[in-house]
Amino acid sequence: MNKQIVISLFVLIFCGITNAQKIDHLVSFRNMDSKRYFRFNYDNDYFAASDKNYTQGYNLEFVSPFFNKNPINSFLITPQNYPLKYGFSIEHIGFTPNRYDLPEIQFNDRPFAASIMLKSFVVAQNADKQLRIHSSVNLGIIGPGAFGEEMQVGIHKATGNKVPRGWRHQIKNDIVVNYNIGIEKQILKVNNLASLQIQSNLNLGTLFTNASVGTNVILGKFKDSFSSEDNQSNFQIYVYAQPVISVVGYDATLQGGLINRDSPYTISSENIERFTSQFNLGMVIQTKTMYFEYTRSSITREFATGALAKWGGIRVGFTY
């Protein structure tokens, strides 16, 4: 087995269990069968009739062989004899407390926080081993420099909702450097109508340090991304379900930046929930050139005085 794969497996197994990412665009049930595509990934708690916790996120995802010249790829997992997809994305995520319309600090609730990042990633997939490996590096900023306040206030004014007034107390500016490794293995397939995968992810860095283990199941008419068959139908319509269990080491959106410790309000380390569970489900429709998805997610409380959080999302993509 390739040395890089051995190292990746060792790290993930050593960590035992590993946190689902808020925008996980690299998992197999979101595979697009092309080396060139663009996809817009958008999350909002509006889809779950809510307006708190993880309130919004978007990811502009570009995949092309052009990105194989990215020097950051030298830090990523690129095993030999694996077909590779190279990509680049811009990602923004925002978080608010329940009473975001009040000007004072909402103690015992989540702090306001936003982060914007540039992500370089590589996806390696081997049909013979039915194995998928992805790795990525995120570089960016958490804090006012991520313009979370401007975005949320603008959206709320445009839609006639209550204007957020507590962003003055948000997590302060700090650098984001994060590394992610994910491994996914198909363990069962019934024709191209059902499949079951196990997965594990590890995040290390200044924004999130966590790990997750879970499964995902796909049901419907789909093109198996773990197969090398070229006679599969281009039209796909399927549903998926993905339960994930996580252990949390550090979360800067709750605890503040690792370097800048001057945030006016954060959640203390002893009040962080170290174990969480998340459940994602959705529906995907794909053609040869187009991708559409609707998804819903929920996660157990992430800090002692928090509560279950829900959100939904859409993903729209096309090949070129």
Extract the tokens encoding 175.
């650098």
Question: In the prediction, which pLDDT does 12 show?
Answer: 40
Q: Which amino acid is at 64?
A: S
What lies within 8 Å, CB to CB, of 144 at 6+ separation is: 167, 170, 172, 173
293: phi then psi, degrees, rounded to nearest 5: -145, 140
Q: How many CA atoms lie within 13 A of 292 on its CB side?
A: 4
Extract the tokens encoding 285.
């429709």
Residue 1 has pLDDT above 60, yes or no: no
Cα angle vertex 207, ends 156, 123, to 5°?
Answer: 100
Q: Compute the distance between CA of residue 182 and CA of residue 11 in angstroms, rounded to an integer.
A: 11
State mean pLDDT over 260-275: 97
Question: In the prediction, which pLDDT does 17 show?
Answer: 38
Please give the domain boundaries of the chain with CATH numbers for all domains: 3-319 (2.40.128.140)
Q: Which amino acid is at 105?
A: I
Q: Do 107 and 98 touch, CB atoms closer than 8 A?
A: no
User: DSSP letter at 276?
Assistant: E
State mean pLDDT over 165-169: 96
Q: Which residue has the tokens 């997992």?
A: 77
Question: In the prediction, which pLDDT does 293 show?
Answer: 98
Residue 181 has pLDDT above 60, yes or no: yes
Confidence band of 21 (pLDDT split at 50, 70, 90): low
Q: Compute the distance between CA of residue 97 and CA of residue 299 in angstroms, rounded to an integer.
A: 15
- pLDDT tens digits, 94-152: 999 999 999 999 999 999 999 999 999 999 999 999 999 999 999 999 999 999 999 99
Confidence band of 8 (pLDDT split at 50, 70, 90): very low
Q: Environment class of residue 74 by beta-carbon count within 10 Å: exposed (0-12), middle (13-18) or buried (19+)?
A: exposed
- Selected residue with higher pLDDT from 105 and 159: 105
